[in-house]
Amino acid sequence: MIKVALLGHGVVGTGVVEVIKNKAEQLFEQTGEHIEVKSILVRHDYDVDYKEKFVYSFDEIVNDEEISIVVEAIGGTDPAYNYVKSSLLAGKSVVTSNKELVAKHGFELMNIAEEKNINFIFEAAVGGAIPVIHGVRNCLKANNVHSIAGILNGTTNYILTKMIDEKQSFDIALKAAQELGYAEADPSADVDGIDTCRKICILADIIYGNHILPENVHTEGIRNVRIEDVDILKMVGGAIKLLGVAKAVDDDKMFIMTAPHVVFNQGILYAANDVFNAAQLETDNAGLMAFYGRGAGSLPTASAVVNDIVECVCADGTLYPAWGQEKPELVADYKEVPMQFYVNVAENAEKVEEIFPTAEIIYIKETTAFITEKITENQLTEKLTGFTVNSVLRVL
Ligand code: HSE
């Protein structure tokens, strides 16, 4: 019998209890062990039919020698970081869906797990149900990954989809996402790109081998996305998506960023709507590949958490070595990496053609919208001196 403790009993925690209960037989067949949720750390008492599992002090879990796996589903870093670290130091493997914790403290916590020959794993922290972490960790060993671009936040993808397809206001769409259990407790983490940034950092840590701290990554959210640009882009087969992007650039540097991007109507990043997440990778041997699925919600997230529990049960020691320590100098200056931009200005097409002779003009009316050739952001800013700029978006 494997005894598991849950820290937290919110959207993710309740889903984990349900999946372990509903899949008991299947999990036994896969592991040869009965998996039981023994204790659930909660702050208050309330009615559920397994209330006898509730405990109110973390000490009851960390000191319980029967518990070999701790699932952290509290979110945030305080008190999650101390609880997870103490659990690992006590020799208990930890499974978490907490992207903030992994993005900030993953290097240290993975090292503790390695020293103890146990596991600290976190598939559900990126892409909810989608096995993107397993994919990049386990299945691309014969490849170099040139780039990864992902829709990694269900809430913002849901909001953008509702704004684009149903002309819903930002506030109404956000409220619906909160009611569906997709949004963070503080939705600023979703709409300001912070959550996506944490997730692209975790993927970049795995792919490129060194810890990247979110505070070193340029991050923009979706608050300034204008419906005028959504409509213009729709006419030419484009959509605005909040992407986390990472790619290797010259001299061992990495370009990494979170920002709304224009994507055109080929491929998974254009097609992924609502709460769905998607990640697209360019690799040398495997070529282009994609992951797609539900990026948030109780059962999809629990699906990934419970799979990680199964991995811990079946593991003979640490499954995945820690990535390397943080090196801020690995992150390239994003303003110096060439890319295409969508620009909307108040000036007429003649003026645009004069300054941007190679640009593709896609809209001429009360404003002019165009797509530049590949240039750096510093070059773009210089060329736009004297223009009245309504918006600038990066094009994937
Ligand atoms: N708030 C997150 C999202 C939850 O919307 O994607 C899953 O990480």
Identify the structural domains of the chain with CATH numbers, from first to last: 2-129+299-314 (3.40.50.720), 133-293 (3.30.360.10), 338-395 (3.30.70.1150)
pLDDT tens per residue across span 118-153: 999 999 999 999 999 999 999 999 999 999 999 999
Residue percentage of the chain with pLDDT more than 70 = 100
Q: Residue 147: its pLDDT value, please?
A: 97
Rounded mean pLDDT, 286-314: 97
**Model's pTM, two decimal places?**
0.97
Q: What number is the average pLDDT over the span 148-176? A: 92
Catalytic site residue from 104, 199, 241, 247: 199
Give residues with Cβ within 8 angstroms of 197, minimum separation 6.
103, 214, 217, 219, 244, 258
Using the mean position of ligand 1's atoms as its centre, give its distance from the Cα of residue 154 in Å: 5
Query: Residue 19: its pLDDT value, please?
Result: 98
Angle at the Cα of 72 from the Cα atoms of 71 and 74, rounded to 5 degrees: 145
Our answer on whether the CB atom of 192 is closer than 6 Å to any ligand 1 atom is no
Per DSSP (E only), the strands in the chain are 2-7, 35-41, 54-55, 67-72, 93-96, 120-121, 145-151, 218-219, 238-249, 253-264, 276-283, 288-294, 340-345, 360-364, 368-371, 389-395
Q: Decide if pLDDT at 251 tops 80.
A: no
Backbone angles phi, psi at 194, to 5 degrees: -65, -40
pLDDT score recorded for residue 376: 98
Mutate which of 182, 274, 298 for ligand 1 pocket (most atoms within 8 A of beta carbon)? 182
Residue 324 pLDDT > 90, yes or no? Answer: yes
Query: Residue holding tokens 């916590």?
Result: 109
Residues 32-49: what's their mean pLDDT?
Answer: 96
* Residue 199 appears among annotated catalytic residues: yes
| Residue 154 CB–ligand 1 contact under 6 Å | yes
**Per-residue pLDDT tens digits for 330-343:** 999 999 999 999 99
What is the pLDDT at residue 184? 86
Q: Which of 161, 162, 195, 242 to mutate to test the pocket of ligand 1 (most atoms within 8 A of CB)?
A: 195
> pLDDT per residue over 5-30, tens digit each?
999 999 999 999 999 999 999 999 99
Confirm or reject: Cβ of 276 under 6 Å from ligand 1. Answer: no
pLDDT tens digit string along 86-118? 999 999 999 999 999 999 999 999 999 999 999
- Kindly tell me the burial class for residue 331, based on how many C-beta atoms sit within 10 Å of its own C-beta (0-12, 13-18, 19 or more): buried
Q: Compare 175 and 164 and report the one with higher pLDDT.
A: 175
Q: Environment class of residue 316 by beta-carbon count within 10 Å: exposed (0-12), middle (13-18) or buried (19+)?
A: exposed
Q: Is the CB of 122 under 6 A from ligand 1?
A: no
Average pLDDT of the chain is 96
